[in-house]
Amino acid sequence: MSTPIRYYFSLFILVIFTGCGATPGFTTSKKTLPNAPTYTYIDTKGNTYAISQNKFIYDPVSEDDTIDGLDDEGYHQEINISLNDYAKIAAACDRQFEETQKELPANYNGNVIPTLLRSYPDRTDELTLSIKGVDELDYILIPYIGNE
């Protein structure tokens, strides 16, 4: 291929990519969802999980077997997550708000009433979870904190 043809071919390819919205070599902006809520889940032991569009924060009730009598629940973790991970977690949380939550049984002996918060800039929705809701959220969230 001669030099002028190569030049015009390269220019043609560049026009095709930029014409369809692609910008070769540029990834400067982080993708976000407008008006996406943040979620805070407090499990039956009091561990807190805070989820935003790009961050997953796990704050355990106790990091050590200490005199407080609480089990070791691992260590505080802040994990960067993808927008796809956020969307998966958000869908699981939103599903809890759509389902009817059964009252906790009379013999429930958890340390804390399990709660899910969904926070928007102008309001916060709060939900007391059933044991089924706790199980469903634990299934989605526990893998993010690993074996801690």
Least confident of 43-47, 60-64, 121-125, 143-147: 60-64
Neighbours of 134 (CB within 10 A): 20
What are the tens digits of pLDDT across the range 67-114?
455 555 778 899 999 999 999 999 999 999 999 999 888 888 877 899
Query: C-alpha dihedral over 14, 17, 22, 27, to 10 degrees?
Result: -40
Residue 81's Cβ-count burial label (10 Å; 0-12, 13-18, 19+) is: middle
Confidence of residue 25 (pLDDT cuts 50, 70, 90): very low
Q: Which tops the pLDDT comparison, 93 or 12?
A: 93
Q: Using a pLDDT cut of 70, give the percent of the chain over it.
A: 70
**What whole-number distance in Å separates Cα of residue 60 and Cα of residue 46?**
7
Instruction: Tell me the whole-structure pTM to 2 decimals.
Output: 0.71
pLDDT of the residue at 23 = 46
Domain positions in the chain: 33-145
Q: Which tops the pLDDT comparison, 1 or 115?
A: 115
**What whole-number distance in Å separates Cα of residue 33 and Cα of residue 86?**
10
Q: Which residues of 94-131 are buried (b: 16+ CB within 10 A; e: fewer)?
A: eebeeeebeebeeeeeeeeebebbbeeeeeeeebebbb
Residue 121 reports pLDDT greater than 70: yes
**Sheet (strand 55-59) strand order:** 77-80, 55-59, 48-51, 38-42, 115-119, 124-128
pLDDT of the residue at 28 = 43
Confidence of residue 148 (pLDDT cuts 50, 70, 90): very low
